Amino acid sequence: MPDCEVTQPRLRCVLPFQAVPAEVRLLRRAAAKQLSQWGTPVAADEAELLVTELATNVVRHVGEGVSATLILEVRGDRLRVEVHDKSRVAPSLRAAGWDQECGRDLHLLASLAADWGTVLTAAGKAVWCEMTLNGRCRVERATGALRQYQGSLRGPDPCERGLEETAIELIADLLHWIAARGRDPEDFLDGAQMHYEAEADPA
């Protein structure tokens, strides 16, 4: 994988890669290093996950070993992540995608990103997603997740449930999920609190 080419004054990084699992791991590290050098105020683990998902989708759905390109770019208050490949077959969300590999990948992408989409290019296509740089992405994503979870709750009219009550139900379910896997829910809560405090804006 060649070194990153950064153009100025716009923050933009172009990383060609081969769609193989070992290269995807290197690509993730290179993206994390570039974001660190830029001092980009996004959650690094989430940005790395987006890079991994986009690159892994090329391996799975375009073909192992094909040539592709990752582009990282800061656009205003957002970080844009694009992966270009030579296939013109655009991915799409499926109604029952949670139990289908491709659909599950795209739902994960949609839940992590502030926005995402696909653009056909002269050479194939680009799948892109964006993260906000000012912390709003987590709030927007949480609101979307709560609304989706709210719809899954049983009751005469679950949509009348307030989002705060839904958040409590979701957290309780997550604690049960953690405990069912032999983990301590208190450790889970402590870890979430530490993440929140580390990322919260200074008072």
Dist CA 179 CA 153 (whole Å): 21
The residue from 102, 132, 162 where one domain ends is: 132
For residues 122 and 152, membership in a common domain is answered with no
Task: Find how far residue 28's CA is from the centre of its chain.
Answer: 13
For residues 100 and 57, membership in a common domain is answered with yes
For residues 11 and 78, membership in a common domain is answered with yes
Task: Find how far residue 147's CA is from the centre of its chain.
Answer: 18
The residue from 116, 132, 148 where one domain ends is: 132
C-beta atoms surrounding 198 within 10 Å: 8
- Mean pLDDT in residue range 51-57: 91
Q: How confident is the model at residue 96 (pLDDT cuts 50, 70, 90)?
A: very low
Strands (E), 37-189: 67-75, 78-85, 115-120, 125-132
For residues 83 and 101, membership in a common domain is answered with yes
Place of tokens 């679950």: 158
For residues 181 and 119, membership in a common domain is answered with no
Dist CA 30 CA 49 (whole Å): 13
Place of tokens 């759905």: 61
Q: State both tokens at 27.
A: 């690509």
For residues 44 and 56, membership in a common domain is answered with yes
48, amino acid identity: E
For residues 79 and 155, membership in a common domain is answered with no
DSSP state of 86: S
Average pLDDT, the chain: 78
Dist CA 166 CA 185 (whole Å): 19
For residues 20 and 90, membership in a common domain is answered with yes
pLDDT given at position 139: 66
Is residue 79 within 8 A of residue 130, CB to CB? The reply is yes
For residues 26 and 119, membership in a common domain is answered with yes
125-135 confidence digits (pLDDT tens): 999 999 887 65
The residue from 81, 99, 132 where one domain ends is: 132
pTM for this prediction: 0.60
Number of domains in the chain: 2
For residues 101 and 191, membership in a common domain is answered with no
- Mean pLDDT in residue range 86-100: 61
pLDDT given at position 97: 37
Please calculate the CA angle 110-144-76 and round it to the nearest 5 degrees.
Answer: 65
For residues 19 and 86, membership in a common domain is answered with yes
10-41 confidence digits (pLDDT tens): 689 999 999 999 999 999 999 989 988 888 76
For residues 102 and 22, membership in a common domain is answered with yes
Q: What is the CATH number for 39? A: 3.30.565.10
Dist CA 54 CA 89 (whole Å): 14
Q: Which domain range does residue 65 map to?
A: 5-132
97-155 confidence digits (pLDDT tens): 333 444 455 666 777 788 889 999 999 999 999 988 765 556 666 777 777 777 776 55
Strands (E), 19-138: 67-75, 78-85, 115-120, 125-132
DSSP H or E run through 103:
helix 101-112
Strands (E), 113-203: 115-120, 125-132
